[in-house]
């Protein structure tokens, strides 16, 4: 005789997963409902929004080509700001990186304080730093360069420290066993290993800083952001279109070149 089929035992883990998924879905629905409660979704507000979006798209699809020369010069200013800020941060972040790099011990106050300093430096975004430097040095590209440099020290220093922690200890131990001093070990065993990674990190950060530099002009820190802000305030969508085209083209070109160089370095 064939034994009757017995029901399979219930999986308690599957039940917990379903309840967890239902709870997450409920929380997300409540959050979306809370964020949408203050939006004007009435017929009048929706019609105005659609009309504004239509005018914006139509204007940006017909760029003001006569403004291309001025937009190009402002884009160059933004790229120069990003380059100078990144170059300064790439050099100044080196001592912070060796300060924050772990030396193999589980509890070490020295790298812990270094990591804390780098975290504090990168806490504030470039826009906040630009506003602070505008008060100190006045409006213009110099404030933007300082904002990019200071913020980038925290980000680059963190990645530099990780590169230092991942070096191969073999060459270091070999030179130390041969009686080499600390400077010789640094220049002939440590530096050759970390330099390609440092250069790759700096190039990657330059890509990010180009994007950051394009918006710093919104607060008066130079670059393409200032004419972009004026065009948005005047609803000059044709001018916004040519500026956006320039930003997109410059970012794509820099990203492509940077990726090609980084592929050769690492």
Q: What integer pLDDT is reported at residue 93 of this predicted model? A: 92
Best CA proximity match to 141, nearest among 88, 86, 82: 82
More confident residue, 265 or 259: 259
One-character DSSP codes across the chain: -PPPPPPPPP-HHHHHHHHHHHHHHHHHHHHHHHHHTTS--SHHHHHHHHHHHHHHHHHHTS--GGGHHHHHHHHHHHHHHHHHHHHHHHHHHHHHHHHHS--S-SS-HHHHHHHHHHHHHTSS-HHHHHHHHHHHH-SSHHHHHHHHHHHHHHHHHHHHHHHHHTS-HHHHHHHHHTT--HHHHIIIIIHHHHHHHHHHHHHHHHHHHHHHHHHHGGGTSSSTHHHHHHHHHTT-HHHHHHHHHHHHHHHHHHHHHHHHHHHHH-
Classify residue 189: in a domain, yes or no.
yes
Classify residue 231: in a domain, yes or no.
yes
Write the CB contacts of 140 (distance below 8 Å, at least 6 apart in sequence): 220, 221, 222
What average pLDDT is seen over the chain? 83
Classify residue 21: in a domain, yes or no.
no
Q: For residues 263 and 3, what is the distance between their CA atoms, to the nearest angstrom?
A: 65
pLDDT band at 266 (very low <50, low <70, confident <90, very high): low
Q: What integer pLDDT is reported at residue 108 of this predicted model? A: 74
Kindly report, residue by residue over 178-203, the tens digit of the pLDDT: 887 778 888 888 888 888 889 889 99
Number of domains in the chain: 1
CATH number of the domain bearing residue 86: 1.10.3720.10
pLDDT (average), residues 61-82 = 89
Classify residue 205: in a domain, yes or no.
yes
pLDDT (average), residues 68-86 = 91
Phi, psi of 125, rounded to the nearest 5 degrees = -70, 170
pLDDT band at 2 (very low <50, low <70, confident <90, very high): low
Phi, psi of 133, rounded to the nearest 5 degrees = -75, -25
Classify residue 18: in a domain, yes or no.
no
Q: 230: which 2 tokens?
A: 């004026």
Kindly report, residue by residue over 200-251, the tens digit of the pLDDT: 899 989 989 988 888 888 888 888 888 888 888 888 888 888 998 988 898 8
Classify residue 190: in a domain, yes or no.
yes
* Whole-number percent of the chain with pLDDT over 70: 90
Phi, psi of 226, rounded to the nearest 5 degrees = -65, -55
Look at the alpha carbons of 250, 256, 258, 259 in this order and tell me if their dihedral is positive or negative. Answer: positive
Query: Where in the sequence is the domain holding 219, given as residue range(s)?
Result: 63-263
Task: Return the ∠ at Cα 153 (arms to 149 and 157), rounded to 5°.
Answer: 155
Kindly report, residue by residue over 126-163, the tens digit of the pLDDT: 889 999 998 888 888 899 999 999 999 999 999 999 88
Classify residue 19: in a domain, yes or no.
no
List the end-to-end C-alpha distance of the chain, in Å, as a whole number. 69
Classify residue 37: in a domain, yes or no.
no
Q: 136: which 2 tokens?
A: 């100190």
């Amino acid at each position: 005789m064939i034994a009757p089929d017995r029901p399979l035992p219930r999986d308690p883990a599957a039940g917990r997963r379903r309840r967890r998924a239902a709870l997450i879905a409920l929380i997300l629905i409540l959050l979306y409902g809370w964020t949408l409660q203050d939006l004007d979704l009435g017929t009048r507000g929706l019609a105005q929004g659609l009309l504004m979006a239509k005018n914006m798209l139509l204007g940006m699809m017909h760029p003001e080509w006569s403004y291309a020369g001025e937009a190009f010069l402002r884009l160059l200013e933004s790229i120069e700001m990003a380059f100078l800020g990144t170059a300064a941060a790439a050099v100044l972040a080196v001592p912070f990186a060796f300060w924050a790099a772990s030396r193999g011990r589980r509890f070490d106050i020295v790298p812990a304080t270094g990591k804390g300093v780098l975290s504090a430096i990168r806490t504030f975004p470039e826009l906040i730093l630009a506003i602070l430097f505008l008060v100190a040095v006045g409006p213009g590209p110099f404030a933007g360069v300082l904002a990019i440099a200071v913020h980038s020290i925290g980000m680059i220093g963190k990645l530099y420290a990780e590169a230092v922690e991942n070096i191969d200890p073999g060459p270091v131990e070999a030179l130390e066993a041969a009686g080499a001093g600390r400077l010789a070990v640094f220049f002939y065993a440590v530096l050759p290993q970390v330099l390609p990674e440092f250069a790759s990190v700096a190039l990657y950060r330059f890509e990010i800083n180009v994007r950051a530099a394009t918006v710093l002009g919104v607060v008066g820190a130079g670059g393409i952001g200032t004419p972009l802000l004026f065009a948005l305030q005047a609803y000059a969508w044709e001018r916004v279109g040519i500026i956006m085209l320039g930003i997109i083209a410059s970012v794509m070109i820099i990203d492509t070149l940077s990726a090609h160089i980084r592929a050769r370095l690492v």
